[in-house]
């Protein structure tokens, strides 16, 4: 049942505030009782007028006072409950989004590469909207429950036959509606999948708008988006047809019940020779309407709950994915030496593999990983950072304790090669919104060689990269991303660098690394190098080829060995000479 499924989600994310859910349920129940009392009070006023007894005015005054009391009971408890209800709904949404973000950032990068970010964002947004809207509409569902039992009891007191027949017809309505829902739900799911694809396509085109504009592909992109939207329309039409049929059947059954049962009551009272009280007829009409509204809710508004369940279930494929690692408190507070036990790993659909990789990490040790593209250098960094899971890989800490290699995720920070720039200010791109002093920010941008760029911007650190005129080159973006990484490594003892300065000119790159190593004195640094002019700055070098470490040692030692590193070194010097000639 869709309602129970969604309520389970509401209860799950309301864990710190479940008592508030109980409170607003109770308040809504009291408010609905007040609302149910008003038709009864009105019927009693009409009956008193018809009876024309000596106490008529007093009776009318009593029932009018009761009517007013019912009004205030409803308003006071309803408003109070709605306030708590919407507050809890908002907090649930906040907790859900936070939980989803934690889950997404713990998923392996390979999963993110295989799943379009636009479609994932759309799924999260739809699920959070569904949870919020379901949470803020609990007043309707409580009212439906109360307005089923309340009118049913009152109608039973007036005429058991009217009560029984109305319930029987109501359940027939629910049965027919349930059959029709089985036809409409698949269509709504198909709509959702279609809209996920539209969101992904729109995200692609907007994210790459420069390419769209410069290549004059605007109309083609627009046509593609509209065509994808058009594919959703047949499912909307089919669902709409089912909905209209469902609404007509339920409305027609309600009409038959209201007219038929009121006529039956009048005929029965007349046959029994009893006085037909106008107030009682009015009460039957009003309470019968409320009772049938409860059944109509299932035929009409309940469809919203089914939609919300469908929207929420769209996030299930994401939640079913197993996370790579869990964020933990740092457990390796102090260490001097870490020995990576020999590890092997097959990746890239079996095309690539690491074979018996063993690396020694030490504080104040600067380690370089060199080798041609595809040798596995970046993969080693991803494993050390915990981005690629190797359940069987282990490390030896200070020659004593053995831990899973995933423990290194708590002490390591990886600064990647590809710069990701956020559409915000330079300051935000460095600090990511974390509170920081000017000295800390300036130290990070100075170490990254980004100070001269900031100084030429009119607003300095507060310049927005979205603004006209704030265009950063590839090398400048890398330095900005490097500044962010430097700011983030304050509490990391293992620093992993995956060519974060690959787009920077060699002279600036040398200056950045020298400054960075001064800042990181006392910490362990592991860096991937393609441009070998930096290799002399490192204490130890691992040479990789086809997923294996084929050489290791200091720069002088591996140069004298005349092996793979010598070949790479000679090749680099030859390419550098050609660049100078050109």
Structure tokens at 411: 């002490």
**Neighbour tally for 22: CB within 10 Å:** 10
Question: What is the predicted pLDDT for the residue at 509?
Answer: 86
pLDDT digit string, tens, across residues 535-573:
999 999 999 998 899 999 999 899 888 888 888 888 888
Question: What is the predicted pLDDT for the residue at 576?
Answer: 62
Question: What is the predicted pLDDT for the residue at 367?
Answer: 94
Q: Are residues 101 and 211 in the same domain?
A: yes
- Average confidence (pLDDT) over 401-430: 83
Place 329 in a pLDDT band, splitting at 50, 70 and 90: very low
Structure tokens at 37: 């009392």
Is residue 315 one of the residues assigned to a domain? yes
Is residue 532 one of the residues assigned to a domain? yes
Q: Are residues 313 and 393 in the same domain?
A: no
The residue from 284, 319, 354 where one domain ends is 319
pLDDT digit string, tens, across residues 123-135:
888 899 999 999 9
Name which residue leads in pLDDT, 385 or 271: 385
Structure tokens at 319: 């939640």
> What is the CATH classification number for the domain harbouring 553?
3.40.50.300
How far apart, in whole angstroms, are the C-alpha atoms of residue 134 and residue 141? 10
How far apart, in whole angstroms, are the C-alpha atoms of residue 104 and residue 126? 16
Is residue 472 one of the residues assigned to a domain? no
Structure tokens at 329: 């408190």
- Average confidence (pLDDT) over 15-43: 89
How far apart, in whole angstroms, are the C-alpha atoms of residue 516 and residue 487? 11
Question: What is the predicted pLDDT for the residue at 151?
Answer: 77
> How many domains are contained in the chain?
2
Question: What is the predicted pLDDT for the residue at 350?
Answer: 66
Taking every pair of C-alpha atoms in the chain, what is the biggest distance, in angstroms?
122
- Average confidence (pLDDT) over 151-172: 79
Helix, strand, or coil (residue 411): coil
Helix, strand, or coil (residue 507): helix
Q: Are residues 66 and 193 in the same domain?
A: yes
Name which residue leads in pLDDT, 85 or 460: 85
Place 577 in a pLDDT band, splitting at 50, 70 and 90: low
Question: What is the predicted pLDDT for the residue at 581?
Answer: 42
Q: Are residues 150 and 291 in the same domain?
A: yes
Least confident of 53-62, 128-137, 176-185, 476-485: 176-185
Is residue 513 one of the residues assigned to a domain? yes
- Average confidence (pLDDT) over 36-49: 81
Top mean pLDDT of 21-25, 102-106, 144-148, 465-469 is at 21-25
Place 194 in a pLDDT band, splitting at 50, 70 and 90: confident
Top mean pLDDT of 186-195, 284-293, 430-439, 552-561 is at 552-561
Q: Are residues 16 and 104 in the same domain?
A: yes
Question: What is the predicted pLDDT for the residue at 14?
Answer: 92
pLDDT digit string, tens, across residues 368-382:
999 888 888 888 998
How far apart, in whole angstroms, are the C-alpha atoms of residue 414 and residue 528? 11
Question: What is the predicted pLDDT for the residue at 89?
Answer: 93
Closest CA to 476 of 519, 428, 521, 421: 421
Positive or negative CA dihedral for 347, 350, 351, 352? positive
Are 461 and 441 spatial neighbours (Cβ–Cβ below 8 Å)? yes
Domain residues for 345? 337-418+492-581
Is residue 186 one of the residues assigned to a domain? yes
Are 117 and 105 spatial neighbours (Cβ–Cβ below 8 Å)? no
Closest CA to 73 of 30, 21, 132: 30
Place 147 in a pLDDT band, splitting at 50, 70 and 90: confident
Name which residue leads in pLDDT, 258 or 550: 550
Q: Are residues 297 and 386 in the same domain?
A: no
Structure tokens at 465: 């990269």
The CA–CA distances, whole Å, from 234 to 188, 231, 237, 384, 439 equal 11, 7, 5, 50, 59
Return the axis-axis angle of helices 18-51 and 56-106, rounded to nearest 10°: 160
- Average confidence (pLDDT) over 81-109: 88
Structure tokens at 571: 């090749």
**Is pLDDT of 330 > 50?**
no
Q: What is the DSSP string of 145-194?
A: HHHHHHHHHHHHHH-HHHHHHHHHHHHHHHHHHHHHHHHHHHHHHHHHHH
Average pLDDT over the chain, rounded to an integer: 82
- Average confidence (pLDDT) over 93-109: 85
Question: What is the predicted pLDDT for the residue at 495?
Answer: 92
Is residue 430 one of the residues assigned to a domain? no
Q: Across the strands, what pairs with 73? A: none
Q: Are residues 180 and 255 in the same domain?
A: yes
Q: Are residues 263 and 371 in the same domain?
A: no
Is residue 449 one of the residues assigned to a domain? no
**Is pLDDT of 331 > 80?**
no
How far apart, in whole angstroms, are the C-alpha atoms of residue 542 and residue 534? 14
Q: Are residues 257 and 405 in the same domain?
A: no
Helix, strand, or coil (residue 431): helix
pLDDT digit string, tens, across residues 199-219:
878 877 877 776 777 667 778
Name which residue leads in pLDDT, 94 or 155: 94
Helix, strand, or coil (residue 311): helix
Question: What is the predicted pLDDT for the residue at 366?
Answer: 94
Q: Are residues 134 and 230 in the same domain?
A: yes
Question: What is the phi/psi pair of residue 352, to 5°?
Answer: -125, 155
Question: What is the predicted pLDDT for the residue at 219?
Answer: 83
For a pLDDT cut of 90, what percent of the chain falls above it? 16
pLDDT digit string, tens, across residues 498-536:
988 877 888 888 998 999 899 888 899 999 988 888 999
Question: What is the predicted pLDDT for the residue at 214?
Answer: 64
Structure tokens at 179: 């059959």
Is residue 341 one of the residues assigned to a domain? yes
Specify the length of the chain in residues. Answer: 582
Q: Are residues 304 and 345 in the same domain?
A: no
Closest CA to 484 of 408, 409, 521, 433: 433
Top mean pLDDT of 92-101, 135-144, 329-338, 460-469 is at 92-101
Name which residue leads in pLDDT, 238 or 292: 238
**Is pLDDT of 448 > 60?**
yes
Q: Are residues 302 and 379 in the same domain?
A: no
- The H-or-E segment that residue 264 falls in is helix 218-271
> What is the CATH classification number for the domain harbouring 161?
1.20.1560.10
């Amino acid at each position: 049942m869709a309602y129970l499924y969604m309520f389970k989600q509401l209860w799950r994310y309301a864990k710190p505030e479940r008592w508030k859910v109980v409170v607003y349920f109770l308040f809504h129940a009291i408010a609905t009782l007040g609302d149910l009392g008003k038709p009864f009070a009105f019927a009693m006023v009409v009956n008193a007028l018809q009876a024309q007894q000596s106490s008529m005015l007093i009776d009318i005054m009593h029932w009018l006072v009761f009517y007013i009391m019912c009004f205030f009971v409803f308003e006071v408890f309803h408003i109070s409950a709605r306030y708590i209800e919407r507050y809890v709904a908002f907090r649930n949404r906040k907790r859900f989004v936070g939980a989803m973000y934690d889950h997404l950032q713990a998923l392996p990068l390979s999963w993110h590469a295989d799943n379009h970010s636009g479609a994932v964002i759309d799924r999260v947004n739809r699920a959070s909207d569904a949870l919020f809207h379901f949470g803020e509409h609990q007043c309707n569902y409580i009212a439906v429950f109360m307005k089923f039992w309340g009118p049913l009891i009152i109608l039973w007191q007036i005429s058991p036959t009217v009560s029984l027949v109305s319930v029987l017809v109501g359940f027939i309505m629910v049965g027919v509606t349930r059959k029709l829902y089985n036809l409409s739900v698949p269509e709504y799911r198909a709509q959702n999948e279609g809209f996920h694809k539209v969101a992904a396509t729109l995200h692609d085109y907007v994210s790459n708008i420069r390419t769209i504009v410069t290549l004059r592909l605007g109309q083609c992109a627009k046509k593609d988006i509209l065509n994808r939207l058009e594919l959703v329309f047949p499912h909307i039409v089919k669902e709409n047809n089912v909905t209209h049929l469902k609404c007509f059947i339920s409305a027609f059954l309600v009409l038959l019940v209201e007219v038929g049962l009121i006529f039956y009551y009048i005929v029965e009272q007349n046959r029994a020779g009893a006085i037909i009280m106008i107030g009682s007829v009015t009460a039957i009409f009003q309470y019968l309407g409320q009772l049938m509204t409860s059944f109509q809710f299932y035929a009409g508004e309940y469809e919203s709950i089914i939609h919300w369940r469908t929207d929420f279930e769209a996030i299930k494929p994401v939640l079913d994915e197993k996370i790579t690692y869990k964020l933990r408190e740092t457990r390796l507070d102090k260490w001097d030496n870490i020995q990576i036990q020999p590890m092997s790993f097959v990746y890239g659909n079996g095309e690539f593999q690491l074979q018996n990789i063993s690396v020694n990490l030490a504080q104040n040790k600067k380690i370089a990983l060199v080798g041609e593209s595809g040798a596995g250098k970046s993969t080693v960094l991803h494993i050390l950072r915990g981005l690629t899971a190797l359940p069987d890989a282990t490390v030896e800490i200070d020659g004593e304790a053995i831990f899973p290699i995933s423990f290194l995720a708590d002490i390591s920070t990886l600064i990647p090669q590809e710069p990701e720039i956020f559409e915000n200010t330079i300051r935000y791109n460095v600090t990511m919104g974390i509170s920081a002093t000017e000295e800390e920010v300036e130290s990070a941008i100075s170490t990254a060689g980004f100070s001269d760029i900031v100084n030429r911007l009119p607003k300095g650190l507060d310049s927005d990269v979205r603004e006209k005129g704030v265009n950063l080159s590839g090398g400048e973006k890398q330095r900005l991303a490097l500044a962010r990484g430097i700011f983030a490594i304050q509490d990391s003892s293992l620093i992993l660098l995956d060519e974060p300065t690959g787009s920077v000119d060699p002279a600036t790159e040398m200056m950045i690394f020298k400054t960075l190593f001064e800042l990181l004195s006392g910490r362990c640094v592991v860096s991937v190098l393609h441009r070998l002019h930096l290799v002399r700055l490192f204490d130890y070098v691992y040479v990789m080829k086809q997923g294996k470490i084929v050489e290791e040692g200091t720069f002088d030692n591996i140069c004298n060995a005349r092996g793979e590193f010598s070949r790479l070194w000679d090749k680099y010097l030859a390419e550098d000479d050609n660049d100078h000639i050109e």
